[in-house]
Every structure is written in structure tokens, then in C-alpha cells.
Amino acid sequence: ERELLAIKGLKTYFYTDEGVVPAVDGVDITIREGQTVGVVGESGSGKSVTSLTAMRLTPGKVMEGSIQFDGKDLLTLSEQQMQDIRGNEMAMIFQEPMTSLNPVFTVGQQIGEAVRIHLKYGKKQARARSIEMLKLVGIPRPEQIVDEYPHRLSGGMRQRVMIAMAMACNPKLLIADEPTTALDVTIQAQILDLMKELKSAHGTAILLITHDLGVVAEMCDRVVVMYGGKVVEESDVITLFTEPKHPYTQGLMKSMPTLDSEEKRLYSIKGSVPAPGSLREGCYFAPRCEFAMEVCRRQAPQLTEIGQGHFTRCWLHAPGEGEESP
Ligand code: SF4
Ligand code: MG
């Protein structure tokens, strides 16, 4: 399939009182038409900033790189051109629908807004489209719910409304940032099923941002693991789960809760994500890595292809490189 989104060499920095924070520090992510690509990492890894930058909604400053979307170079478009794309060809859903839904407008007004703006639908047509979308996302009694306000709905129903809004114009790409994190397990499974259904019915590509490897296993074709603003591992989903190579990815795997265990997080990676900007030499993961060698603290490892389409950024898997020079 054709490349739909190609993020190349992206750097997004924040300027704070404490200095420059390279939140996204040279990231490449490619999504093909109809593909679901997961971006995984702890909070502070740069995964949300990457997706916000792709929508041109980041509060940070884009320093370098390019973002090609469906033949357009997003970083060179005007804000007006970008508005024509957002909510139309690419749409986004977030973790907490209550903060993204407007409390003073009805569900129908909010779902209908995108088709009114982008497809020039009239009021009646937009309302009909809203009802159709509510049906599509599995909301019962859509003819009544269309006139309800968001606070009258449960968390799961609100997330369905968010998805209805995002899908109203049939986007080619859906960016979902922790779409099920705030929901309980049963509702989470229903929302993931819904996203899979919509994806296969409409061929929508999905960029899925999550800290949850269970969600990745369920949903994704490919996975990008981020740490400290960089990609540290990337592969197809099966390879990632069967042969994780980066010590950080291996740590994430070990900290996944298992189904037969009541105890979550039997293992957790020691230490915490370094404050962005605090560690700019060597491998950023070194302070938490049980395999750290001398070279790791001195020299930054490069992202290296270690198998077909399998990349990792670690001295353990960069044979011949990083050795002491005489
Ligand atoms: Fe660990 Fe070194 Fe690999 Fe970094 S480069 S993950 S410190 S072994
Ligand atoms: Mg986030």
C-alpha cells in the first residue's frame, strides 16, 4: 500500500524557563494506507507531541523534519490549508472526551460541525449524518441522543461520540491518543472493537498513541517504541512481541499485566523517564538499563536495522560499532 503519512527527521522543541526541551528529537514514522501503527512509550517519551505535531497542533516549535500526508507537505501549508485537512482528511480522538467535547453544544451539533464545515452540508443534512454516525458507532436510540448534551452520557458513550465526530468526514487517517485509557476494561474492549470495525469498513489508517502494550497487541500492524524523544525500536507487531531487542522494550513487556494475575506490574522498569533535556549524551536509557556498558554513557547509539523491517537503537545490537578506538 501507498504511504499515507511519512514523518521524517522530526524535531519538536519546547522553550522553557529551564532551557530547551527536545521533546521530539529526530523521529521517523511511516503509515501506509489502511495500516494501524502504534506509538508506545511512558509519558514524557514524546509520543503525544509527535502526534500533535502531525496535526500541526503542538505548542512546541518544529525545528527540523518534514511531514508528508497524502502528497502534501504539512509543515509548509498555511493555517487555512491545514484547517481544511484537520477533521476532514485527518482527525483525532483523545483520552478524555469530556475535555474535547463542548459541554454547551448537543452531540448532534458537534458531530455535524465537521460535515457542515468541510462538506458544506446544510443543517438538516448534517443532523441526518450525525444520526447515521451515532448508529455506526453503536449508540442506542440515536434519534434521541443526537439532541442530548455530552454530560448526560457515560464515559464509554462519550468516547463513541468522539469517534463519530472524528469519522464523520471519512478521514484517511485517524490519530488516537490513549483513546481507551480513561475507560474500564469492558468498555475499553468495546471501543477497540469499534475502531477495528470502522477501520476495516472504511480503510482508515490509524496512528495509535498508547502506553499499553495490550492495546498494541490487539490493534496494531506495526509498532514504534519511543523513549526520551527518540524511536528506540520499531517492527511489525509480532516481531516486537516475540523478539523485543531493546532493553526498554523488554522492560515494557515484563511490566505488562498478565491475564491470570490479579497483581498488576509485578515488574517495573527501575527509575523514571529522564526529564526531557536533562540527558543528552550517550544512550538516554543508560541510567535505567541493566545492560549498560561504558560506551553507552559516552556515545549515542543509532537506529539500526537488525532484521527485515526491525530497527533498534542499542549498542548491544550494533555489531562492530561503538567499540573502543585504539
Ligand atoms: Fe542499554 Fe546500552 Fe542498549 Fe542503551 S545502548 S539500551 S544503555 S545496552
Ligand atoms: Mg500523552
- The CA 43 to ligand 2 mean position distance, Å, reads 6
Q: Can you give the pLDDT at residue 193?
A: 92
Q: Can you give the pLDDT at residue 28?
A: 97
CA distances (Å), 290 to each of 8, 99, 238, 272, 285, in order?
31, 40, 25, 14, 10
Q: Confidence band (pLDDT; 50, 70, 90) for 76?
A: very high
Per-residue DSSP letters for 267-296?
A: S--SS-PPPTTS--SS-TTGGG-TT--HHH
CA distance 72 to 123: 31
Q: Can you give the pLDDT at residue 260?
A: 54
Interval 226-270: pLDDT, tens: 999 999 999 999 999 999 999 999 999 988 766 555 444 445 677
CA distances (Å), 230 to each of 154, 208, 225, 319, in order?
37, 17, 8, 21
Q: Confidence band (pLDDT; 50, 70, 90) for 221?
A: very high
Q: Confidence band (pLDDT; 50, 70, 90) for 324?
A: very low
Q: Confidence band (pLDDT; 50, 70, 90) for 182?
A: confident
Q: Confidence band (pLDDT; 50, 70, 90) for 21?
A: confident
- CATH code: domain 3-89+171-317 is 3.40.50.300
Which atom of ligand 1 is closest in space to residue 291's alpha carbon? 8
Mean pLDDT of the chain: 90
Q: What is the mean pLDDT of residues 173-199?
A: 90
Q: What is the mean pLDDT of residues 298-314?
A: 96
| Percent of the chain clearing pLDDT 70 (strictly above) | 90
Name the residue of 289, 290, 295, 302 to mutate for ligand 1: max ligand atoms within 8 A of Cβ: 289
Q: Can you give the pLDDT at residue 325?
A: 42
Of residues 277 and 287, more confidently modeled = 287
Asked whether the predicted pLDDT for residue 66 surpasses 50, the reply is yes
Q: Can you give the pLDDT at residue 321?
A: 55
- Say if residues 223 and 237 touch (Cβ distance below 8 Å): yes
C-alpha cell at 30: 511511516
Q: Can you give the pLDDT at residue 251?
A: 93
Pocket around ligand 1 at a 6 A CB cut-off: 246-247, 283, 285-286, 289, 291-293, 296, 301, 314-316
Q: Can you give the pLDDT at residue 266?
A: 46
Asked whether the predicted pLDDT for residue 165 surpasses 90, the reply is yes
Domain boundaries, the chain: 3-89+171-317, 98-170
Q: Can you give the pLDDT at residue 44?
A: 85
Of the listed ligands, the closest to the CA of 210 is 2
Quick one: which of 206, 217, 226 has its CA closest to 36? 206
- The CA 279 to ligand 2 mean position distance, Å, reads 20
ipTM score: 0.95
Q: Can you give the pLDDT at residue 258?
A: 62
pTM of the model: 0.91
